[in-house]
Chains A and B, each alone.
Chain A
């Protein structure tokens, strides 16, 4: 920018000046009234303030509204102070910064380095404001507001300061906005339009910085970096990986890892969002689309049981990228790398047509009518007790309800969801939910993780635990196989033996449990698959009773589920009969169930696979019914806290695929056991009968504590250690297993862990 404008000004001042003065002909031709030849920006004070003359007495402006819904909670009235922002009095709690005070007053201060969830750096200087009686403009993000402070954000001094800072920031910033992926959603671009000057004075060469390799997810163009250090602070504070740093000094300063190192964090994708410029962008999304071409659909993530709020950006029928949506109670404003980058799995390995396996073992596409007729006939030819239905990880509540209703009408109650193990305890909701809630972790001072590795099972829960630890120095104890934590923890043991010791009060950890005020016990859902799970759950409950973990005001006993469908399946009662198993099944209905071990299915069993991906179970299926993925349908998912949320369709379905519950509804009619719901509202009415909490969107129905009702288990306990539930964080379900990006991640990143 600097060079071009300098050149333009030089030509303008001398060459054209001479042309004007030498010849009247040139003067006429090149006069400013002929716009086609030369145009430049003319600065006239009248144009800058068009209202100044027309409106001599300014109207009193409307009362300020806080920026972005900024909330002020003044807990103690004596701690409130009053400051004046542009003349308006604002009441804020003591300890707020000037920038936060301005936000409460409804004045948005430009900023690059300040981020509300990161520590304050104060190094970009963009947030300079004028404070009365202060000799210089102050960096509002780092300055605590003092009582009676008179803050001025709109004065010539503040404007000039911002303009100057902007000019410095743009000095070394390349002019590659047209080829930059951040273009259109770039803080620097926006703020230079709003607060910058129309010209710069920099005529030197811009610097260039070598790009760093941070792995397959984050693309770096370090020349664009403005050294705000948001990524460094994010990595060390939130992600808990001390890899990034600020190297060098002065104009040679650069962000980097010094030694060649990939960013091995499950939250690394978030640095793309917090980077205010195009220095860190998404590698899979590079040069794919412009952000203004994309249609955003706010929906729910289904790759783990947390139900992170996301926005799917799509162009036509294609999902282009996934971004986080703010939800303070669940994922704040972060999402895991799996959530963010698994979207290319939605385009690969998709099932688009109903298919039947012929006698030669090959699949052959058929019409829906034929496919459903074959399934209905096979179901009718099977004894009701030999009909089994299994629901997969990614199923929504509607389809689970429909499948259970359908199989019940066929005379079978052998329907369950994968991952829940044998005899899941679905009677008491508090036995399978994260009772403390994710945001409730903030009050905890001791965590006991039993057979759970939240870093890979639920990265957002792990981020919240880490946040609590940073804020309150809470302690973490862990029972399970040695694993990678990104915070300090005490490894008590590997198996159930340690758990029994604690339950019997023989373990040294008991003293810290008893002294903790708000202890949290998290049981990993991986133990559901163990044969001795009832005893383990009993032991955990004994610990909970003994450590006063469950109290009326503090519910500290939690189960961390693994799959998006798990909580809703237990709420809807998709639990197997005591003696049911797939070993005796003659008709097996798999609704997106890919993680079931199908080796024990009898060879003559008829297997229906209904799902959206040609994954593991398709190899055994006799018939395939294509269904829509979570990005293509509206469906209710209940997260591990018991919070029901609904997805929204972002893109059309692939090929001839249909929504899961519609397929079962159609099948029921062909099979002659008509299910009485024809639309989403009707099936939700049916859900309301079974589990009304699933229709209370975005609300957590608190489970009633009644652990006393439960029978005691004193069965045998296995000596074997707890297993690692999630072997490969990047590939856990049909969508992520089909994703190329996830495959790259597991090849490069998991290996190093």
Chain B
């Protein structure tokens, strides 16, 4: 007498289980913005015993950076100094580099680790000389950022946050950089010339084909033009020239006192 009800119940439970199953997988894979774990594991190229210090040129820059802040609030300089250390190190922060920053701003190292783990643009694992960051936020995603990332990953033969074998490229994802009007966009952080020649350029209106061209140009040492990659557009202007504001704009009627 129970069997139809129990059978239906168990089928329903199975349905529920299936309902939950894919969502588990999705939620695990979707969280991979940060380049590293939130705790440190010693490795030959990243451990606190490796000596690390700022170069003499950067020590001058540190003085300049610290001069922006009151002398009793040195810790305010932690973000610019971490950025400087990251540029000097070639795109990533080792524990020793963070300890060096802690010494400069005179705080406990953990206070610097807290900052470095909070911001996703501080990389705590090795990145390539050119770190390519694909914007994944909604406007870029709608305009095809996933295809761009796929094209890059396939072309370079790596996974996200992985460095190519020659150490030149790595691909990561980031949040909105405010270029939504020229979506989709990628950013290239160029660590190949140290902190002196460091650039952080936007390439906008990219297509899967164009990003591969940009990558190849970078590999050859050429400098692809930054900004919009669509020849029909000037900066963030509309494609094919202005569609509005052709002549002198008319003044608002209420201001045209003679017309009243």
Nearest residue (CB) in A for B42 is A260
Least CB distance, B53 to chain A, in whole angstroms: 19
A245–B114 alpha-carbon span in the complex (Å): 6
Q: Which residues of A contact B165 (CB under 8 A)?
A: none
Known: A242-B108, A245-B114, A249-B117. A210 touches B39 (CB 8 A): yes
Q: Which residues of B contact A25 (CB under 8 A)?
A: 1
Which of B5-13, B62-70, B144-152 is found at the contact surface with chain A?
Answer: B5-13
A258–B122 alpha-carbon span in the complex (Å): 15
Mask of A239-259 contacts with B, CB within 8 angstroms, 1/0:
000111111110111101111
The contact size tier of chain B is 20 to 34
CB-CB contacts below 8 Å: A195-246 with B: 203-205, 210, 212, 236, 242-246
Asked if residues A245 and B5 are in contact (CB atoms below 8 Å), the reply is no
Asked if residues B31 and A251 are in contact (CB atoms below 8 Å), the reply is yes
Least CB distance, B23 to chain A, in whole angstroms: 6
Least CB distance, A232 to chain B, in whole angstroms: 9
A283–B12 alpha-carbon span in the complex (Å): 44
Q: Does A706 contact B (CB under 8 A)?
A: no
A260–B49 alpha-carbon span in the complex (Å): 13
Least CB distance, A502 to chain B, in whole angstroms: 30
Q: Does B244 contact A (CB under 8 A)?
A: no
Asked if residues A15 and B117 are in contact (CB atoms below 8 Å), the reply is no
Q: Which residues of A contact B198 (CB under 8 A)?
A: none
A346–B1 alpha-carbon span in the complex (Å): 64
Least CB distance, B219 to chain A, in whole angstroms: 33
Least CB distance, B179 to chain A, in whole angstroms: 23
Asked if residues B5 and A247 are in contact (CB atoms below 8 Å), the reply is no
Asked if residues A11 and B12 are in contact (CB atoms below 8 Å), the reply is yes
A251–B27 alpha-carbon span in the complex (Å): 12
Asked if residues B113 and A247 are in contact (CB atoms below 8 Å), the reply is yes
Least CB distance, A201 to chain B, in whole angstroms: 13
Q: Does A18 contact B (CB under 8 A)?
A: yes
Mask of B110-132 contacts with A, CB within 8 angstroms, 1/0:
11011001111000000000000
Least CB distance, B35 to chain A, in whole angstroms: 12
Q: Does B138 contact A (CB under 8 A)?
A: no
Nearest residue (CB) in B for A8 is B16
Q: Does A19 contact B (CB under 8 A)?
A: yes
Q: Which residues of B contact A11 (CB under 8 A)?
A: 9, 12-13, 16
Q: Which residues of B contact A253 (CB under 8 A)?
A: 38
A203–B5 alpha-carbon span in the complex (Å): 26
Mask of B90-113 contacts with A, CB within 8 angstroms, 1/0:
000001000000000001111101
Residue of A26, A254, A259 with most partner-chain B CB within 10 A: A259
Q: Which residues of A contact B31 (CB under 8 A)?
A: 251-252
Q: Does B24 contact A (CB under 8 A)?
A: yes
CB-CB contacts below 8 Å: A19-38 with B: 19, 25-26, 30
Cross-chain contact of B40 among A236, A242, A260 (Cβ < 8 A): A260
A649–B1 alpha-carbon span in the complex (Å): 65
Asked if residues B113 and A248 are in contact (CB atoms below 8 Å), the reply is no
Q: Which residues of A contact B73 (CB under 8 A)?
A: none
Least CB distance, B212 to chain A, in whole angstroms: 32
Q: Which residues of B contact A18 (CB under 8 A)?
A: 8
Least CB distance, A654 to chain B, in whole angstroms: 44
Q: Which residues of A contact B107 (CB under 8 A)?
A: 242
Asked if residues A15 and B48 are in contact (CB atoms below 8 Å), the reply is no
Asked if residues A256 and B24 are in contact (CB atoms below 8 Å), the reply is no
Count of chain A residues with a beta carbon within 8 Å of a chain B beta carbon: 35
Known: A26-B5, A204-B23, A252-B34. A245 touches B16 (CB 8 A): no
Asked if residues A203 and B38 are in contact (CB atoms below 8 Å), the reply is no
Nearest residue (CB) in B for A209 is B38
Known: A15-B8, A204-B23, A205-B27. A242 touches B38 (CB 8 A): no
Least CB distance, A240 to chain B, in whole angstroms: 11
A205–B24 alpha-carbon span in the complex (Å): 6
A245–B115 alpha-carbon span in the complex (Å): 10
Asked if residues A248 and B118 are in contact (CB atoms below 8 Å), the reply is yes
Asked if residues B110 and A257 are in contact (CB atoms below 8 Å), the reply is yes
Nearest residue (CB) in A for B98 is A258
Asked if residues B110 and A244 are in contact (CB atoms below 8 Å), the reply is yes
Known: A203-B20, A249-B117. A256 touches B9 (CB 8 A): no
A10–B15 alpha-carbon span in the complex (Å): 10
Known: A15-B8, A243-B110. A259 touches B117 (CB 8 A): no
Q: Which residues of A contact B114 (CB under 8 A)?
A: 245-247
Least CB distance, A16 to chain B, in whole angstroms: 8
Q: Which residues of B contact A19 (CB under 8 A)?
A: 5, 8
A203–B20 alpha-carbon span in the complex (Å): 7
Q: Which residues of B contact A203 (CB under 8 A)?
A: 20, 23
Asked if residues A7 and B38 are in contact (CB atoms below 8 Å), the reply is no
Least CB distance, B121 to chain A, in whole angstroms: 12
Known: A256-B38, A256-B39. A245 touches B28 (CB 8 A): no
A247–B95 alpha-carbon span in the complex (Å): 14
Which residues of B line the A interface, CB within 8 A? 1, 5, 8-9, 12-13, 16, 20, 23-24, 27-28, 31, 34, 37-40, 42, 48, 95, 107-111, 113-114, 117-120
28 CB contacts below 8 A, A to B, read A7-B13, A7-B16, A10-B16, A11-B12, A14-B12, A15-B12, A19-B8, A203-B23, A212-B39, A242-B109, A245-B114, A246-B114, A247-B38, A247-B117, A247-B118, A248-B34, A251-B31, A252-B34, A252-B38, A253-B38, A254-B39, A256-B39, A258-B38, A258-B95, A258-B109, A259-B48, A259-B113, A260-B42
The 10 closest A-B pairs by CB, nearest first: A242-B108, A248-B38, A245-B110, A258-B113, A247-B38, A247-B117, A15-B12, A245-B114, A205-B24, A249-B118
